[in-house]
Amino acid sequence: LLSFGEGGKIVAHAAKLHKIKRIFAIVPVENHVFDTSKSVLERISLPLFDAKGVEVYVKRDDLIHELVSGNKWRKLKYNLAQARQNKAEGIFTFGGAFSNHLLATAAACKETGFRSIGFVRGEELNADSNDTLRKCSELGMELIFLDRLEYGMRHDFEYIKELKNEHPNFYAIPEGGANYYGVIGCQEIWREIPFQANHVFAAQGTTTTSCGLAAGNTQKAEIHVVPVLKGFDALAEMKKVLDGFTYDSDLSAEYLEQVHIHPDAHFGGYAKYDTGLLEFIRMIYRECRLPLDHVYTGKAFYALYKWVENSDDLEGEKIVFLHTGGLQASGFYLE
């Protein structure tokens, strides 16, 4: 069985369950890249929070690295360690035209000496289509543009096998960094919250980050998950992911006991927004200099704000907002 930096509940439990005695450690690569010291935990103040008597802290994972920011960094950490362990020469992965994950992968690979290939959704695009793709390409990522049909096969094992045959010595990371190693990396967020939090809020896309939070929640905080996808059965999706890791339906149900979903803050779906959301993001920036984006963190912080507004008895409670990063496309409304 493989273990990581400091193990984690999942690995220990699985080892016990399967009576596994030998545990191999995976050691993170290049600590100068995988260093979280810039992710401070800062208290922010707003009239609403003062009126309700709550303490709100923001875990600034957006500050970890200029390009490998937020949860994308956490999800890459053990994937790159695994790639190094496998003596891979490069990484290939998948993403849309504005993917934070593609950019993070391109930057992390450049700094750790891996080659990188990004399979991008949309055969009509090219390396000059937008800033994200331009930056990826400048960082040395080879971009391969796929039509929707082929991109739709990105989770198919046979298809991945074909790509591995075409690119031997490349390690595959799924879209969004959504795999086991990604979840393990996200569990580590807890180590950097030095007090007992009552509530933790985070945006959700693939569920990797929220599953990491749920599985690493030894302090039994209430975890508030804000899906940015419309019509997404967040709890069912999280259960599926956690079942796959734990092989134990009761244990994953236990992990989900403290999870609350806020299903009504997606603003129409992925990357959709309205003037109300942009106004809210500008207001927060003006009041407390917290930069948010319109795809993920703006929606999650909006859900937090509304929840505080509609709750009683929050006096003295500590809320942590996990800033998952993703600010690369937010320049146009924060100026």
Between 118 and 157, how does the x/- string for binding to ligand PLP read (CB under 6 A)? Answer: ----------------------------------------
Output 28 or 291, the one with its CB closest to ligand PLP. Answer: 291
Q: Is 176 in the site for ligand PLP (CB under 6 A)?
A: yes
Q: Is 216 in the site for ligand PLP (CB under 6 A)?
A: no
CB of 254 to ligand PLP, least distance (A): 21
Local structure of residue 174 (DSSP, 8 states) = -
Q: Is 71 in the site for ligand PLP (CB under 6 A)?
A: yes
54, 55, 59, 70: which one binds ligand PLP (CB under 6 A) = 70
Whole-angstrom distance, CA of residue 199 vs CA of residue 321: 8
179, 204, 246, 330: which one binds ligand PLP (CB under 6 A) = 204
184, 203, 241, 259: which one binds ligand PLP (CB under 6 A) = 203
Q: Is 174 in the site for ligand PLP (CB under 6 A)?
A: no
Whole-angstrom distance, CA of residue 313 vs CA of residue 53: 9
**φ and ψ at residue 237, rounded to 5 degrees:** -65, -40
Output 5 or 95, the one with its CB closest to ligand PLP. Answer: 95
CB of 199 to ligand PLP, least distance (A): 18
Whole-angstrom distance, CA of residue 69 vs CA of residue 67: 5
Closest residue to ligand PLP, judged by C-beta, is 326
Window 277-316: residues binding ligand PLP (CB under 6 A) = 296-297
8, 90, 185, 205: which one binds ligand PLP (CB under 6 A) = 205
Q: How far is CA 253 from CA 4, 22, 225, 239, in A?
A: 23, 27, 16, 7
Whether the Cβ atoms of residue 182 and residue 81 lie closer than 8 Å to each other: no
**How many chain residues interact with ligand PLP (CB under 6 A)?**
19
CB of 300 to ligand PLP, least distance (A): 7
Where does residue 96 fall: left (phi above 0), alpha (psi -120 to 50 degrees), or beta otherwise? beta
Which residues fall within 8 angstroms of residue 161, CB to CB, at 6 or more apart? none
Region near ligand PLP per CB under 6 A, out of 205-213, 235-243, 247-255, 268-276: 205-213
82, 179, 187, 208: which one binds ligand PLP (CB under 6 A) = 208
Q: Is 57 in the site for ligand PLP (CB under 6 A)?
A: no
Between 239 and 268, how does the x/- string for binding to ligand PLP read (CB under 6 A)? Answer: ------------------------------
What are residue 121's DSSP bridge partners? 146
Q: How far is CA 188 from CA 9, 144, 218, in A?
A: 11, 33, 11
Q: Is 39 in the site for ligand PLP (CB under 6 A)?
A: no
Output 52 or 180, the one with its CB closest to ligand PLP. Answer: 180
Three-state DSSP state, 290:
coil
Whether the Cβ atoms of residue 78 and residue 184 lie closer than 8 Å to each other: yes
Q: Is 209 in the site for ligand PLP (CB under 6 A)?
A: yes
100, 112, 246, 252: which one binds ligand PLP (CB under 6 A) = 100
Residue 120: CB atoms within 10 Å: 24
Structure tokens at 200: 């933790």
In the block, residue with structure tokens 């790639």: 83
Whether the Cβ atoms of residue 248 and residue 256 lie closer than 8 Å to each other: no
State the DSSP H helix or E strand holding residue 143, giving kind and residue range, or none if neither: strand 141-146
Three-state DSSP state, 200:
strand
- Residue ranges binding ligand PLP (CB under 6 A): 70-72, 100, 176, 178, 203-210, 296-297, 324-326
